[in-house]
């Protein structure tokens, strides 16, 4: 299991904005979104090479129940989460993040 996980500042903001959005729509849904991202992040830590590459070193884990993906890199036993990307946003908007 990989213990070293970090979020790009913009990914962290996307994460919290999406949770707030869902919580405003339906009480408890934002909490469910947070739990799903946490569950998926833990799975990535346990299986970092499982998910498909969409660029040279960027991988994508699609969330269950929510139209989002976690985009991350796995280099030198470090997972860097680049985006919590909504599927309806323009593709590859996060490409310049490191």
Torsion over CA: 75, 98, 61, 54 (sign): negative
Give the pLDDT confidence of 12-32 residue by residue, as tens digits.
999 999 999 999 999 999 999
Q: pTM surpassing 0.85? A: yes
- Cα→Cα distances 2→38, 42, 68, 90, Å: 14, 9, 23, 30
Say how many C-beta atoms besides its own lie within 10 A of residue 1's C-beta.
7
Give the pLDDT confidence of 19-77 residue by residue, as tens digits.
999 999 999 999 999 999 999 999 999 999 999 999 889 999 999 999 999 999 998 88
Strand partners, 92: none
pLDDT higher than threshold 80 for residue 80: yes
Domain boundaries, the chain: 4-86
- Range 4-86 classified under CATH 3.30.2310.20: yes
């Amino acid at each position: 299991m990989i213990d070293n996980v970090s979020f790009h500042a913009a990914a962290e903001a996307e994460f919290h904005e999406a949770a707030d959005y869902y919580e405003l729509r339906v009480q408890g849904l934002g909490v469910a979104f947070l739990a799903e991202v946490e569950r998926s992040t833990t799975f990535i830590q346990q299986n970092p090479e499982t998910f498909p590459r969409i660029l040279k070193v960027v991988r994508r884990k699609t969330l269950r129940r929510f139209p989002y993906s976690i985009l991350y890199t796995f280099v030198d036993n470090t997972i860097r989460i680049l985006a919590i990307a909504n599927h309806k946003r323009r593709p590859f908007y996060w490409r310049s993040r490191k």
